[in-house]
Amino acid sequence: MDWKHYFRFAPRANRLEFACVGAVWQGLGLISLVLQTLVLGNSASLSAGALFSSLLLSLAQLALSILMAWLAFASFSRRLHDMNLSAWWIAGYIIPVTGVSLFFQEKWWLFTLLGLIVWLFLCFKKGSPDENRFGSVTVRGQEKKPLLIVFAVLGLLFAVGQTVYSRCVLMPRALAVTQQMQFK
């Protein structure tokens, strides 16, 4: 398997490839949240060793976040290219959703649900069957429906896991560390 292929923004990505990369991307997101929890746990202590390990964990999380962002933009743009759409449609989705989510933070579940719906739509929407302006048709014979469903469900579970972990573990821990730091 040529992993360099998944980091490019062209030509096109079929549904199975998009679902596979999306499941990996969502899994990396869950790992990133766990790293963030470890950083919070280490930052409560002010010893030099704890601060150094916290710095290393923060750098690992930063590298993982950059990798995830690149993977996401590359796979989304290639999937949109398969449907004969420009990658600028990503900005048309991200900018309004991010802008609105900043003002309606108590409705976090709505934006999570919207993101999952868009991701699942892109997983199951068939691409253009002929050659389009972004290149020739990707190999369609490799798209096996059961495998596509497995990766879509796996990505969905990882995404829900991220949301639950963030709301039930990470946010209470961050609040506890903040309160602990205020009393010192």
> For residue range 43-73, what is the model confidence (pLDDT) as tens digits?
556 566 766 777 787 788 888 888 888 888 8
The mean pLDDT of 111-116, rounded to a whole number, is 78
On whether residue 5 sits in a domain, the answer given is no
Torsions phi, psi for 144 (to 5 deg): -100, 120
On whether residue 148 sits in a domain, the answer given is yes
Q: What is the pLDDT of residues 115-128, one digit of tens each?
A: 788 888 888 888 88
pLDDT tier for residue 32 given thresholds of 50, 70 and 90? confident
Torsions phi, psi for 92 (to 5 deg): -65, -20
The mean pLDDT of 142-150, rounded to a whole number, is 76
Q: Which domain holds residue 145?
A: 10-183
Cα angle, residue 65 at apex, residues 64 and 71 outer, rounded to 5°: 90
On whether residue 4 sits in a domain, the answer given is no
Q: Using an 8 Å Cβ cutoff, are 38 and 135 in contact?
A: no
What is the pTM for the complete model shown?
0.74
Tally of structural domains, the chain: 1
- Collect contacts of 111-117 with beta carbons under 8 A, ≥24 apart: 112/159, 112/163, 115/159, 116/156, 116/159, 116/160
